[in-house]
Amino acid sequence: MDATGLLAGGYATVSTKVQVYEGSGADIFARINTDCQKMERDKDMTAVTVHEVLDSTLEAVAHVETVAAEVARRVGFRGVSLDHISLATHETTTNAVVHGNRYRSEKKVVVAISITQDRFKITIADDGDGFDPDTLPDPLAPERLSSGSGRGVYLSRAFMDEYHVRCRHAGGTEVTLVKYLRPR
Ligand SMILES: Nc1ncnc2c1ncn2[C@@H]1O[C@H](COP(=O)(O)OP(=O)(O)OP(=O)(O)O)[C@@H](O)[C@H]1O
Ligand SMILES: [Mg+2]
């Protein structure tokens, strides 16, 4: 199963009342906005979900970051929390494109965003070779402090409330980032 198949199967369990957006049409923000407003009015509506299949490019990284930040802002994230979501989304999607799919055109990045009443969740999947975050060198070790790279996973973990990596048997990595929406 490729990354597309993996994520496409999961929606039935997300919510009994869920809005799914497929593709990356220009009007995606308008549709998300409408549904966020619906969610505010309708407390039974527990999730808004965005689902996109993207090429392994840096343009796709920028797109995912923009969509994630926009969705998060519309459900109430502001300031540092919003910055943390943007940064973790950027780093994780970049890793999927660069380290996972290695820019190969036949490999896709699949992104699923879901918002419930109390949290923002994004899952970013690639078709690469997988990795184990627990075996990465500590970027805070004295000999690594001056290194210009090796901080994306560390920062994503630090900035989000939950960070999960799942390596799939068929190959590829699925990273899930969660941020809780705290009352202001
Ligand atoms: N989706 C992925 N697929 C395969 N390997 C990955 C993936 N994400 C991360 N890695 C591995 O984990 C390492 C650490 O990633 P991390 O984002 O922390 O640093 P980096 O990408 O090397 O540098 P930067 O600080 O610019 O992000 C990567 O160098 C890569 O070996
Ligand atoms: Mg990185």
CB of 172 closer than 8 Å to CB of 151 = no
pLDDT tens for 71-111 read 888 878 999 999 999 999 999 999 999 999 999 999 999 99
In this structure, the strands spanning 47-55 and 173-180 are unpaired
Q: List C-alpha distances in Å: 15 to 11, 80, 164.
A: 7, 28, 20
Pocket flag, ligand 1, residue 88 (CB < 6 Å): no
Domain 3-180 indexed as CATH 3.30.565.10: yes
Helix ranges, 75-171 (H)? 79-95, 152-159
Q: Which amino acid is at 140?
A: L
Going by pLDDT thresholds of 50, 70 and 90, the confidence category of residue 39 is low
Q: Where are the chain's structural domains?
A: 3-180
Q: pLDDT averaged over the chain? A: 81
Separation of CA 95 and ligand 2 centre (Å): 5
Q: Which of 39-48, 75-84, 104-113, 152-161 has the lowest mean pLDDT?
A: 39-48
Pocket flag, ligand 1, residue 151 (CB < 6 Å): yes
Separation of CA 77 and ligand 2 centre (Å): 24
Compute the distance between CA of residue 42 and CA of residue 82 in angstroms, rounded to an integer. 24
DSSP 132: -
